[in-house]
Amino acid sequence: MLRRPDVDEVMEYGRALGFDLTPTEARLIQARMMDTVAALEAFDEMRVEEGRPPLSFTDRDPGRRPSEEEDPLGAFITKCRVKGADSGPLHGKTVALKDHIALAGVPMTFSSHMMDGYVPDFDATVVTRLLAAGATIVGKLKMEEFSWGGPGLSGVGDYGRPLNPHNREHVTGGSSSGSGAAVAGGMVDIALGSDQGGSIRLPAAWCGIVGLMPTHGLVPHTGVFGLEPTIDYVGPMARTVEDVAVSLQCMAGRDGLDPRQADVPASRPDYAGGLARGVRGLRIGTVAEGFGVAAGDRAVDEGVMEAVRGLERAGARVERVSVPLHSHALPALLPIYLEGGKRMYDTHFGGAFAKTYYPSSLISIFGRLKQSHAREFSPNLKLNLLQGYYLQRNYGGRLYAKAQNVRPTFVAQYDRAFDSVDVLAMPTIPLTAPRWQAPRDFEDALELTMLGGRRSLDLGPVIANTCPFNYTGHPAISVPCAKLGGLPVGLMLVAPHFREDTLLQAAAAHQRSVDWATLIATTAPRGA
């Protein structure tokens, strides 16, 4: 039975909405609301099965917290085992999921103890497709709490910090922090991450692995809980370009549920089949604005340029290109990230009002939890939600609207660059992974998070090259290209929309042009 609001509640609701109802108005509205509540109650009691994505491979181990011996890098929240098909392109491959990707029968925490006990009853589309391709899913991975964050400098949620296997005193990067650590440390073959400003490519660069953010919408986001539908991406992370290409082949394509996929072509290239083509005649443009980033490390720039020269020696044609708006993408993305993220919070991860699948169990549980436990959110999450509320309250969506409306101008400028080149190149992150600093208190945590950094590092330079492509929707891949002081450096390649085949072709050529085994090898000093 649904609750019946009394007159005082109606007046309270009115004040929250800015109505300032009189007692008479509230009484009249309350009386009419009773009819609506009765109709809603009748609907709630209807014995009609809620549709959900199809569930296959139902023999599932619900999982457990791993021991330190099983998980020396602290990458996992849950170890489980869900075996897929007996054959397929991913048969024999182990896969782990960032813990905001639904895997039926296995807890999903978002790296927050608030969600302890929540177990989804549905699979994300990417899970269904990976299992059908023969993969075995072996666990759920740590992330920054509810995906809000970036470099991983302020802590990564209630389950602790994953360790960078190249140097455990340095951060892995976020928000797909566990995904980066698990793959780099050889604990899984493939991990899935998500990206709203660099959260696949950042840990890929700092952990020395391959991380792909596909064209917006190419991989369905159904059952993956991000921040804002127009900047949400899910993609594979692995130690080789080949594993990334095969994973993409298995996951890409429309699922009939994700409204982000309206522009996705019905057919797709053979991503893995083109990896041996090489780069002879391929045109690569080094983006002028992507080098010499403020607060960046010039040695990183040089390591990336040497990788580009290696592609040139392999037959590519290299030229310098300019994309003036590249340096202005972060402020354009911010209203979408902050206000859109606040709207996602308001809908309890229900997402946009569109024809899609709505996870009613998650929506219900999160709605109740945030009412009673919001005070337990991390400083980082509180900061971002308050900034989103500030935008809603003071500007009524105007800045969000402007950010969406100027997006085509940014897209067009990159597309003009693609008129003369096939692939763009730049550093993924303009510096190597910084040393970990444990926050001392609330104030210190804020200093180490999103746009802070007076004690450490401002997020702006860190995602200067990654966030533009969340905004424009172009596919981007990070591949290891050098090491500085034992820490990996990432080369980022970017291609036109839906040209992942070209992107992976160039990445594979780079992989062959360097001493790959040395680049991805981890030394893993014990550190603190």
Cα 467 from Cα 76, distance rounded (Å): 26
Q: Which of 9, 15, 45, 42 has its CA nearest to residue 27?
A: 9
Q: Which residue has the tokens 């990996």?
A: 488
Task: Answer whether 61's CB lies under 8 Å from 82's CB.
Answer: yes
Structure tokens at 312: 């040139």
What is the amino acid identity at position 487?
A: L
Choose, from 147, 154, 175, 176, the residue flagged as catalytic: 175
Cα 356 to Cα 393: distance, rounded to the nearest angstrom: 28
**175: cis peptide before it, omega within 30°?**
yes
Q: Which of 380, 370, 379, 381 is CA-nearest to residue 346?
A: 370
**288 and 490 Cβ atoms separated by less than 8 Å:** no
Cα of 165 vs its chain's centroid, Å: 21
- The residue from 179, 199, 478, 513 that is catalytic is 199
Task: Let me know if 231 is exposed, middle or buried by CB neighbors in 10 A (0-12, 13-18, 19+).
Answer: buried
Rounded to an integer, what is the distance from CA 258 to the centroid of its chain? 16
Catalytic site includes residue 361: no
Backbone φ and ψ for 118, nearest 5 degrees, come out as -80, 125
Identity of the residue numbered 419:
D
- Reference 191, options 67, 55, 99; nearest CA is 99
DSSP string for residues in 21-36: --HHHHHHHHHHHHHH
DSSP 268: -
Please report, as a single letter, which amino acid is at residue 287.
V
**199 carries an active-site annotation:** yes
Q: Determine whether 360 is an active site residue.
A: no
Inter-CA distances, 324 with 416, 419, 472, 487, Å: 12, 16, 14, 30
Q: CA dist 439 to 144, 156, 378, 385, Å?
A: 15, 11, 12, 20
Q: List the beta bridge partners of residue 82.
A: 60, 137
- Residues annotated catalytic, as ranges: 98, 175, 199
